[in-house]
Chains A and B, each alone.
Chain A
């Protein structure tokens, strides 16, 4: 009889709490549709990992094998980058390259949060891994955390994906706090008459990879895989591969990535004060990313004749395309005739490049 109940006898209170946390993530995924492709597998992975004597984890558990072969080797984030690269259309950015600068400014939250985390007693590598939540880019967060602070991988991933899904809730109040209604009503001159040739579209991923690689060799895996995916897309001769990367590869790796990350959420690793602190600081990172982009645009407006709608600066975070949609929605609330969507999309795409460069620089600068 004892053998039938040995699992029940070993069940601890903290494991029950983890079941509830896993359940909340699944609830958020299904009911609220917050990043369901990630939060649902993460939630279920958390439940699998916290069942006493779970055969899913441990030396020979399939989730441990996936963790060792997909996360520790950094293979999953890299494969996701290939898929993301195949999904991105860089044309709006190539038409208005000025938007690139917002993709740089909106990475401020990463470094600000890193400094805050250092103040709270985390060491430099842990602080950098927490700050990178502000990249608003799950694979980059996982990539950096795997290299610098594996023991914090679970809370960092959960925070990164949760806040990405909460962009429509986080960004508007920050934007409204930092801008006046008159600024939010600024119409921007469209620059979409510029036609981008096929040659430029093909050269762009190749040239960016070479330059970024030379500047920060450690970022080659990140940038190279993203740009490889994009090259497949724009080449025009690999349609089948491009579609496979956008669909089959993305879906399969996302599925495995989510449940594997969830499996690291064991009670002993997850239920501690630092998890709460990391989740709180993830929010700080997103707030200061948004603020960095908006304030940068406002500073530029001091010198520019054709003013920029400062809300576009907030789209410089990597959460694509949610952030651009949020900006357009606020712009139309202020003035229904105002269309800043394409400018915001340009800044949003720039944010994806900016976040990867930020990740590469963090890996280069933090020793």
Chain B
């Protein structure tokens, strides 16, 4: 059961980590699109 609880802990950390990284990418993309808009 120790391995299972360790896996659950990694699940929480992993999903949190993915969402944090993705949130960061989201902000970066939004910023880049604003700073370097397509020239008309």
Contacts and interface: CB of A to CB of B under 8 A. Distances in A.
Please classify the interface of chain B as helix (H, G, I), strand (E, B), loop, or mixed, using the class held by over half of its residues.
helix
Given A104-B18, A361-B18, A200 B36 contact: yes
B4 A119 contact: yes
Contacts of B26: 97-98, 100-101
A366 B10 CA distance: 7
Interface in A87-127: 93-94, 97-98, 100-101, 103-104, 107-108, 110-112, 114-115, 117-119, 122-124, 127
A212 B17 CA distance: 11
A218 to B, nearest CB: 12
Contacts of A362: 10, 14
Contact of A108 (B6, B15, B38): B15
Interface in A162-187: none
A357 B15 contact: no
A354 interface: yes
A361 B18 CA distance: 8
A274 to B, nearest CB: 15
- Give the 7 A-B residue pairs with the shortest CB-CB distance, closest first: A195-B38, A111-B11, A199-B36, A118-B7, A97-B29, A115-B7, A104-B22
A366 B6 CA distance: 9
Contacts, number: 111
B15 to A, nearest CB: 6
B35 to A, nearest CB: 8
A101 B22 contact: yes
B21 A215 contact: yes
Interface of A: 93-94, 97-98, 100-101, 103-104, 107-108, 110-112, 114-115, 117-119, 122-124, 127-128, 194-197, 199-200, 203-204, 207-208, 211-212, 215-216, 350, 353-354, 357-358, 361-362, 365-366
Contacts of A97: 25-26, 29-30, 33
B39 A197 contact: yes
Contacts of A123: 3
B25 A211 contact: yes
A343 to B, nearest CB: 15
A101 B19 contact: yes
Given A100-B25, A207-B32, A354-B18, A115 B8 contact: yes
